[in-house]
A and B are shown apart, each in its own frame.
Chain A
Amino acid sequence: MTVTLAFPRAAHGKPLVSLRGFTRRFGDNVILDNLDLDIAPGEIVALLGHSGSGKTTLLRTLANLDNIDGQDVTIPGARAVVFQDARLLPWKRVWKNVVLGLKGRGLRAKAEEALAEVGLSHRIDAWPLTLSGGEAQRTALARALVRQPELLLLDEPFAALDALTRLKMHALVLKLWRVHRPAILLVTHDVDEAMALADRVLVLAKGHIVAEERIEAERGQRTATVRDLRARLLGHLGVDAHASSYADLVAGPPVSYAEAAE
């Protein structure tokens, strides 16, 4: 399948993130193959794909965690990552985790402010290992926020949370995004999550972007438009989904697991 990528609309001006012909290989194993990607300032892009599709490698590249050895890559200086496992330092209290690596005075006040935004003011002096999964992820969000990122990288940050907590976290991320307007790259397995949050959904498979879907409908008014989108995205992921909602998906006509299996 070939997909022509429509780059973000001209109205966005210069893209914040830009990869051109980006290739990443480990030995003979090509992880990302000649990839083009633009992310506009303030845009939320969801990246769907199976494990092993290259999602994590792409995210590591954008987080500047891997050596990009002279390739055509533009990423903003103000970045922050929220990982699936919150990755808080267990030996630092919550607020010290939030301001980890920052310098200057008034750090605690900064941490207080960020923690208040994620509703965790009461846990400011807690040890990370005493936090619940949702609290840990909110701390990780605060730690990202406090750096005022232009680019916020979310690496399946809600995958390990229970469904209800996940729901609250989605709402929280949108709330924070509306206030701070960072560009967000959300790496996820969850098609519904992608459709609820993103302006644009990319599907990554075997190192290529095999599909791009822009969601024009406003967040909050998407129910009507996502029915077909959902089936299309699942199709790209190798799930032959006829049903339009999860309620009927697994019980419906046999789902092809051939490629969906991870």
Chain B
Amino acid sequence: MSLFRSRWLSPLALLFLWEALSRFGLIPAHVLAAPSTVLVTLAQMVRSGELPHNLLISFGRVSSGLAVGVAVGIGAGLLAGLSRQGEALVDPVMQIKRTIPVVALAPLFIIWFGIGETPKVALIAFATLFPVYLNLYNGIRGVDKRLVDAALSFGLNRWQLIVHVILPGALPSLLVGLRYALTVAIVMLVIAEQINASAGLGFLVNNARDFMRTDIIVVCLMVYALLGLSVDFLIRIIENRALAWRPKLVEA
């Protein structure tokens, strides 16, 4: 009975139940829209360009926030990982930064940067910086000392050592950090767009809330989920390419 073993079964059943309860009026539309309504709304929003337009704006925020956060995280991680002075300089600051919940900084960011794009991008950047930093730093420090010795015995200079041994050795950790950063970025996007947005997915959600359009809210939830999935997919592709040497992947 493969039908009952299928992992699709329970989500589909839930969906049908939801649809049925909506049709019989047991779930009013202002509480939760029926799946069929959600699909129709989705189609309308895509056709009118409302969804693509706002999605693109949100995507831009995540991308710029990530670009800044990942770049700073990588820079700080390299600095702290590759030199003792760098570590003494950077690590204490990063550890202090870690103790402050990024969301709690939102009021300060609004005072500093206003309510435009900057505080949103800054929040995402600030939140994604740490996982990248920490994982890269630990990855560099965790590189097998024996491999470093072997490379030195073959006369590699410091630069060659970093390029051929230390960075490739730290790459798996960096990718873990990156994966975490991407997840955090989407969470921060949701939070940042609740602050005050005149466009973007969060704006759509806020607007829909005011008009009790649960169908639009559900559409946006779906888009958030899809964003998360595609981010995961992206990282998987990067990992498969960059870490092709790992035996698990080699054998697969």
Contact = CB atoms under 8 A, between A and B. Distances in A.
B155 A129 contact: no
B245 A91 contact: yes
Contact of B164 (A85, A90, A101, A143): A101
Contact of A100 (B154, B243, B244): B154
A197 interface: no
Interface in B146-190: 146-147, 149-156, 160, 164-165, 168-169, 171
A190 B41 CA distance: 78
Contacts of B171: 91
A6 interface: no
Nearest to A96: B164
A89 B164 contact: yes
Contacts of A42: none
Interface string A81-101: 101010101111000000011
A76 to B, nearest CB: 12
B247 A130 contact: yes
Contact of B245 (A63, A64, A128, A143): A128
Interface residues of B, number: 23
Contacts of B169: 91
* Chain B binding surface, main DSSP class: helix
Contact of B155 (A89, A101, A127, A130): A101
A224 interface: no
Contacts, number: 57
A127 B249 CA distance: 11
B246 interface: yes
Contacts of B244: 127
A65 interface: yes
A89 B165 CA distance: 7
A87 B244 CA distance: 18
B154 A83 contact: no
A80 B156 CA distance: 12
B153 A63 contact: yes
* Chain A binding surface, main DSSP class: loop
Interface in B224-252: 243-247, 250-251
Interface size class of A (residues with CB under 8 A): 20 to 34
A83 B164 contact: no
Contacts of A130: 247, 250-251
Nearest to B157: A101
Most chain A beta-carbon neighbours within 10 Å: one of B149, B243, B251: B149
A147 interface: yes
Contacts of A236: none
B168 A143 contact: no
Contact of A129 (B152, B168, B247): B247
Contacts of A85: 146
Interface string A197-210: 00000000000000
Most chain A beta-carbon neighbours within 10 Å: one of B150, B156, B245, B251: B150
A24 interface: no
B152 to A, nearest CB: 6
Interface string A126-137: 011110000000
Given A87-B146, A87-B147, 16 more contacts: A65-B152, A79-B153, A80-B153, A83-B146, A89-B147, A89-B151, A91-B169, A91-B245, A92-B164, A92-B168, A101-B151, A101-B160, A127-B247, A127-B250, A129-B250, A130-B250
23 contacts: A63-B153, A65-B152, A80-B153, A81-B150, A81-B153, A81-B154, A83-B150, A85-B146, A87-B146, A87-B150, A89-B147, A91-B168, A91-B169, A92-B164, A92-B168, A92-B245, A100-B154, A100-B164, A101-B151, A101-B155, A101-B156, A101-B160, A101-B164
